[in-house]
Amino acid sequence: MTSAAGDLSSGGGDMKAGCNKNTRRNWGISRHPLYAGLFAALAGLTVDLPAQAQQAHSESAAPQQFSIAAGELGDALNQLATQSRLQIMYAPELVRGKAAPRVSGELTWRQALEKLLTGSGLEWSLVGHNLVAIRKAPESPQPSRGERGASTQGPAQAAAPAAVTLKKVTVLGSLIPRSQIETASPLIVISANDIKNRGFSSVADALQNLTLNTGSINNTAINAGDVWAAKTVSLFGLDPSFTKFLIDGRPMPVFSQVAQNQVTDQLNTNLSGIPIDLVERIEILPGGQSSLYGSDAIAGVINIVLKKHVRFGTVDAREGWYSDGGGRERMLSASDSFQIGKLNLMVGGQVSDQQPMWDFQRRITAQNFAGGSSPQQPGVDGSVYGFSGNSYFPAQAGDCSKLTGLWGGSERYYASPYGAVCGSVRDGAYGTLINKDRTASLSVHADYAVNDSVQLYADLLDSYEEQSHETVGDFFGLINDANLHDDVVIFRAFAPEERAHSLDGLLSQKSYENTYTATVGGKVDFGKGWNLDVGLTSSYERDDDRQSGLLNTSVPGSYGSALLGPQLGADSFGFPMYAPNYSLLTRPLTPEEYASYTGAASIESNNRTDQLRAQLTQASLFGLPGGDAGLALVAEEGYESWKYQPSPLLEGGGNAYLQGLSWNPSNGHRNRYATAAELNLPVFKMLTADLSARYDSYDAEGAHFSHPTWNAGLEFRPFQELLLRGRYSTSFKAPSLIDEFEGGSTYQDFVVDRVNCARLGFTGPTLSSCPGQYQDEPLTVTQTSNPHLQPMTSKNLSYGVVWSPVPNLSMNVDYQHLSIRNEVVLESPGSLLQFQWYCMQGALDPSSPTCRAANAQITRVPVPSGSPLLGRITGLLVTKANVAHEVNNSIIAGASYRFEAGAYGQFGAHVAYTRVLSHRQQQFPGDPVLDYLNAPAYSTEFKTKANAELNWSRGKWNATLFGTYFGPTPNYVARITNGYDAPYAAKLAAWRIYNASVSYAPTASWQLSLRINNIKNSMPPVDLTYPGTSNQPFNPANYNPYGREIFLEARYRFGHGGSD
C-alpha cells in the first residue's frame, strides 16, 4: 500500500504491493548533466529527500490554490497530497501507466482529486480522519465515487457513501497487518519532514528532544565522557541500554566502546551516524515490548524506517552555522529510484561535515565563573603541594613569569591561604563543546517480483563516521621528594600554545567508526491469505578510538623522567622517591618538545549481530463478530559477539605506556534462539484483544539462560471517536556481552573492615571511631565479569485514552508503570564488606548464596590464635550481580489539531508532554531505596518535559514554530549535598528553546528553506551555586550552550516537470 503522505508499513521489506513499484521511469532514460555531475561528486552515494509525509487535511472543503503538473497519476496524487496536506493511500499497480491532466486554479481538494481521476477507472473514499483511499471502480460503467457519492462530473450529485475496505498495514507494536493505526500501546511517529521542520539536523537530535527522553546522561547535551563519540537516549530516565533500537524492524549493532553508568558498565546504541536524509520516519513505542521484540525492550522500542522508494531524483544541500561562532556544518545528499524489468532499486547517499565548537566561543564558558558561590578562581596549571601542608611551587611570583604568555596571555601567579599556583581563569576555555565530525552514508533497497506471489528483497545501510575532540594534556605525580623530605603532589597542565600550532592540533582523540546493516530475504503469499517472510540480517559495528597522551614516567624520554630524574627508592608509605628539578615547571614547551613527550595508542572494538528470522502471518485467520482474527508466528536464530582490544601500550595498570590510561582486552560471543506468537482478536465491534508471547534462549560460551515473556492488551472503542486501551506485559534484558565477557582488572583501594570494627564495639554512629588500621585498610581489588548472570526482568502496566471529539482534533493520555528486578550492578568493595557484616550478625542467612559469595570474595590473613577478630583483609574480588530493583511511573500525553482558514491557508498544532511521577531504585539488598527525583547526587533527570508545534502552509509556503520545555532540575549545591535541605540547595528554573523554519517552493522542482534553532539564543539556566573554579556554570549532562543555529537548505527534484 502506498501512501502519498508516507508508507505505514515496517519490517522485512515493503509489502508486495508497496510503493517500490511506483517508479517514475526506466533505466534507459537520459540524465540531466548537472544530475550526473552531482552524483559523481558524491562518489556514487545518493540519498533520498525526506518523504512529504504530512498530517491529514481538514474535512472542510474550503477552496485553495492548486498547481499540479500533468504527468503520471501517481506523481499527480503525490502533488495533491503535498499541496492539500491529505494522506492518500493506494496500491501502486492501480496507478501504474495511468496519466493525469494538469490541474490548477482555486479548487477544493475534492474537485482537484476528481479531475485527476477522470477517465482513470478509479474512485476514492474518505475512510478516516483526512485519510483518502483510492480503489478500482466497479466493472459496470459508473462515475468515480467520493465519500458523499461525488462523481467525476462534479461534487454536487449526492448518493449513499461508497463502501471501502482499507488495506491493512503493519506498524510498530504489532506483527499483524491491521487497519487500525492506534493500538493498545501508544505509538509516536516522526517523519523525516517533521525532523527538518522542527529544526533538527540529525536523528539523534530529534530523539533526544522527545519528551520521553527525560534522562540525564552524558552526550545528551555536550559530547564528553567515556563514550564521547556516541549519542543515545534515556527513555523515562532509565538506562539507555533498556531501549531496543531497530533499523527497518531489524536489530541495530551497539556502539562497541564501553559506557559507564551509575551502577555498572554498558554497551549503548550510537545514533550519531544515522543520516537524516535516508530516513522515512521514526517510530517510538514506549514501555515493555519483549513479547514481540525480545531482549532490551524494557523502556521501549525505537524503529528507524529507511526510505524504500523515491518518485523523483533529488539533490539536497544544506549549510548551517551558529551566530556566536563554531560548529559550522555542511551536508549534501542525493537519491533516486530505478526500475529494470521486475527489479526495483532505490539508491541514496549523504555526506556531511561539521567543524568543532570551543568553550572560548561562548561567553558562558570562556572563563571560570565569576558570579558563583565563591570568587572566580584560576585553574591550577603548575603547583607542588606537600602532605605536610607546605606549598613548594611556585615559591614566588617570578616562578610563573615565563608562563604568562600561555592560555591566551592569561596565565599568572596566584597566592591563596592554601598555597600558591601558576594558573589561569581561562584554562578550561579550550575544550570542545561539539566534536569535529565527518560522515558518509549509503542506503540501497532492492526488490524483485518473481511472480504475483513471490518477492525477493535486499537492504543495505553502510555508514562511516570520523570524529575528533580535545583532550587535556596534564602531568600528575605523587612522590616522595628526597630533598624536601616530604610526600608531594606535582601538577603541570600544558597550555594549547604548548601542545599545538593550531586549534585542529588540539583534537588529540579521534574515533573512526564504520557501521553496516545488511538484509536479504524473500516473501511468499500462499493459500488463502497466508504470508511467509524469511530474512537474514547481519549488523556490524567497528570503532577505532585513537588517543594520544603523555608518556608514563617509567618510559625513558618522558616528561616525568625529565622532571623527576632517576628513582631513588621508596618511602615507608610505598611512594617512589625522587629528587625533582622543579625549574622545568617554569619553562613553557614548544609544540615540538611537547610532542616528544607524548605517545599514541588505540582501542579497537567491534560488535556483530546476525539474525535469521522467519515470520508466518495470516491477517484473516477466522471470523469474529468484530472482524477477522489475525495470527503471526515467528522463529529466530541469532549470533552476537563483542571484542574490545586496547593497544598493548594501554595494558599494565600503572606501568601502561601512556600516563593515566589503562584498559584490558575483552572478547566474547553467544548464540540465541527465540519463538514468538501474536493473536489479534476483534471480539466484537467495540472490543479487540491482542495477545502475544515469546520465549528466548541464550548460550553464552557454555553459560545457558532463557526467559519467557507475554503481553495482553485490550482496545475498547465504545464509539468511533473514543479509544480506551490498556495492556499488561512482561519484558526482559539479557546480560550484555560486557557483563559476561569484560576483561579483568586490578586496582588499589582503602576500605572499612566493618566486621572487625563491630567486634571491637564500633558500629553505626561510632563507626568513625574504629581504630585506624581497620578504618582505612589498604587492599588490592580485582574486578571481573560474571558469565553466570541471569536476565533482568520487568513487569509493565499501561492504560490510557485516545479521544477525537471533532474530525481534526485528537488527544491522548497514557499512564505507564515499570517494575524492573534482577538488574545488573557492579559490586563495590564497601557493599561486599557490608554484606559480610550482615551475614555475621544474622541480618542475612549465613548459608544464603549472598553470604557464601561474600565470604568467598573476601581474602583475609589467617585468624590469630585466640583472637575474637578476623584476619586482616588483603584482597577483594568484585563482580557483577543481579541484585538491583527499579520502579518507574510516568504519564505520556499529547494532542493534535488541524484546521483550514480559507484563503489564509491551513494550520496545525501539536503538543506532547511527559511527566515522570516516580523513579526509585535499590541497588543492593539492605541499601536505602534511592528516590532519583529527589536524590540529585545520583540523578539530575528531568521530571517534566514538553514540546509544542504550530505549523502553517499555504500554496508554495510552509512555516513551523517548535518549542521544547525542559523542566526544573537540581542545582549544584543540591547535587553535592544530595538533597534540598542545605542552604541554597534548590531547583533551577525551567529552560525553553524555540525553533522556527520556513520553506518556499518557487517551482515544482525547487524548494528553499530557512531554519533557525534556538531563535532567542537562550543559554542554559545559570546556576549561581557553582564555585568560581568551573567554566561551565550549568549541568553539561542536561544542557548545552550552543545558542542560535541558522540553516539554509536547497532541494532540487529532477524530472518533476513544469513550473508553477
Number of domains composing the chain: 3
Buried b (16+ CB within 10 A) or exposed e, 430-463: bbbbbbbbebbbbbbbbbbbeeeeebbbbbbbbb
- For residues 318 and 330, give the distance between their C-alpha atoms in angstroms, rounded to a whole number: 6
CATH of the domain at 665: 2.40.170.20
Percent of the chain with pLDDT over 90: 54
- Write the pLDDT tens digit of every residue in 912-951: 999 999 999 998 777 789 999 999 988 999 999 999 999 9
In a domain, 832, yes or no: no
Buried b (16+ CB within 10 A) or exposed e, 794-818: bebbbbbebebeebbbbebbbbbbb
Residue that has been written with the C-alpha cell 533499523 in this structure? 247
Same domain flag for 45 and 116: yes
In a domain, 874, yes or no: no
List the one residue out of 633, 518, 609 whose CA is nearest residue 295: 609
- For residues 2 and 133, give the distance between their C-alpha atoms in angstroms, rounded to a whole number: 10
- For residues 385 and 391, give the distance between their C-alpha atoms in angstroms, rounded to a whole number: 5
Residue 14 binned pLDDT confidence (cut-offs 50, 70, 90): very low
Residue 5 reports pLDDT greater than 50: no
CATH of the domain at 20: 3.55.50.30
- The whole-angstrom distance between residue 973's C-alpha and the CA centroid of its chain comes to 29
| Helical ranges in 153-309 per DSSP H | 192-197, 203-208, 290-293
In a domain, 166, yes or no: no
In a domain, 808, yes or no: no
| 583-592, 828-837, 994-1003: the lowest-pLDDT one | 828-837
Same domain flag for 518 and 416: no
Q: What Cα–Cα distance (Å) separates residue 258 from each residue in 215, 549, 842? A: 19, 20, 38
Burial environment of residue 367 by CB neighbours within 10 A (0 to 12, 13 to 18, 19 or more): buried
Cell of 231: 549519542
Highest mean pLDDT pick, 313-327, 404-418, 643-657, 739-753? 313-327
Reduced to 3 states (helix: H, G, I; strand: E, B; else coil), residue 891 is strand
Question: Does the N-terminal peptide bond of residue 829 adopt cis geometry, omega within 30 degrees of 0?
Answer: no
List the one residue out of 1015, 1044, 1042, 1028 whose CA is nearest residue 359: 1042
Cell of 1000: 518556499
Residue 814 reports pLDDT greater than 80: yes
Burial environment of residue 471 by CB neighbours within 10 A (0 to 12, 13 to 18, 19 or more): middle
- Write the pLDDT tens digit of every residue in 986-1022: 999 999 999 999 999 999 899 999 999 999 999 999 9
Over its C-alpha atoms, the chain yields an Rg (Å, rounded) of 32
Predicted pLDDT of residue 61: 52
List the one residue out of 588, 110, 96 whose CA is nearest residue 344: 96
What spatial distance separates the first Cα and last Cα of the chain, rounded to whole Å?
Answer: 29
- For residues 1035 and 391, give the distance between their C-alpha atoms in angstroms, rounded to a whole number: 32
Same domain flag for 651 and 719: yes
Average pLDDT on 481-504 reads 94
Buried b (16+ CB within 10 A) or exposed e, 235-247: bbbbbbbbbbbbb
Cell of 736: 550484555
Same domain flag for 60 and 195: no
In a domain, 123, yes or no: yes
- For residues 690 and 626, give the distance between their C-alpha atoms in angstroms, rounded to a whole number: 13
- For residues 26 and 163, give the distance between their C-alpha atoms in angstroms, rounded to a whole number: 36
Is beta strand 313-322 parallel, antiparallel or unpaired with respect to 329-340? antiparallel
Residue 148 binned pLDDT confidence (cut-offs 50, 70, 90): very low
Predicted pLDDT of residue 178: 62
- Write the pLDDT tens digit of every residue in 54-99: 333 333 456 777 878 777 888 788 778 777 767 787 766 677 778 8
CB 819 within 8 A of CB 238: no
Q: DSSP letter for 32, please.
A: -
Residue 191 reports pLDDT greater than 90: no
Q: What Cα–Cα distance (Å) separates residue 662 from each residue in 668, 813, 1050? A: 20, 49, 48
Same domain flag for 418 and 526: no
Which structural domain, as residue segments, surrounds residue 383?
378-424+474-497+559-596
Same domain flag for 609 and 714: yes
Burial environment of residue 685 by CB neighbours within 10 A (0 to 12, 13 to 18, 19 or more): exposed
Q: Which amino acid is at 84?
A: S
Residue that has been written with the C-alpha cell 531501549 in this structure? 243
Of 121, 136, 151, the residue at which a domain comes to its end is 136
Same domain flag for 683 and 564: no
Same domain flag for 674 and 563: no
- For residues 477 and 589, give the distance between their C-alpha atoms in angstroms, rounded to a whole number: 19
Q: How many residues does the chain have?
A: 1060
List the one residue out of 577, 550, 573, 549 whose CA is nearest residue 565: 577
In a domain, 754, yes or no: no
What does pLDDT average to over the chain?
A: 84
- For residues 350 and 770, give the distance between their C-alpha atoms in angstroms, rounded to a whole number: 65
Residue 597 binned pLDDT confidence (cut-offs 50, 70, 90): very high
Reduced to 3 states (helix: H, G, I; strand: E, B; else coil), residue 20 is helix
Calculate helix-pair angle for 109-117, 73-84, nearest 10 degrees.
180
| 193-207, 453-467, 517-531, 646-660: the lowest-pLDDT one | 646-660
Same domain flag for 587 and 708: no
Same domain flag for 280 and 346: yes
* Single pTM value for the model: 0.82
Where are the extended beta strands (E) located within 987-1030? 991-1000, 1006-1013
- For residues 915 and 104, give the distance between their C-alpha atoms in angstroms, rounded to a whole number: 47
- For residues 1032 and 859, give the distance between their C-alpha atoms in angstroms, rounded to a whole number: 44
Same domain flag for 465 and 484: no
Residue 655 binned pLDDT confidence (cut-offs 50, 70, 90): low
Cell of 937: 547526587
Residue 40 reports pLDDT greater than 50: no
Predicted pLDDT of residue 717: 93
Instruction: Report the side by side order of strands in the sheet with 250-251.
Output: 188-191, 279-286, 300-306, 243-247, 250-251
Choice between 183 and 813, residue whose per-residue pLDDT is larger:
813
- Write the pLDDT tens digit of every residue in 843-870: 878 888 778 888 889 998 888 778 888 8
In a domain, 159, yes or no: no
Same domain flag for 543 and 452: yes
Q: Which amino acid is at 642?
A: W
Of 596, 621, 653, the residue at which a domain comes to its end is 596
- Write the pLDDT tens digit of every residue in 954-980: 989 999 999 999 999 999 999 989 999
Predicted pLDDT of residue 160: 35
Maximum Cα–Cα distance across the chain:
109
Cα angle vertex 542, ends 539, 546, to 5°?
165
Calculate helix-pair angle for 829-841, 849-857, nearest 10 degrees.
120
In a domain, 302, yes or no: yes
> How many Cβ atoms are within 10 Å of 213's Cβ, its own excluded?
24
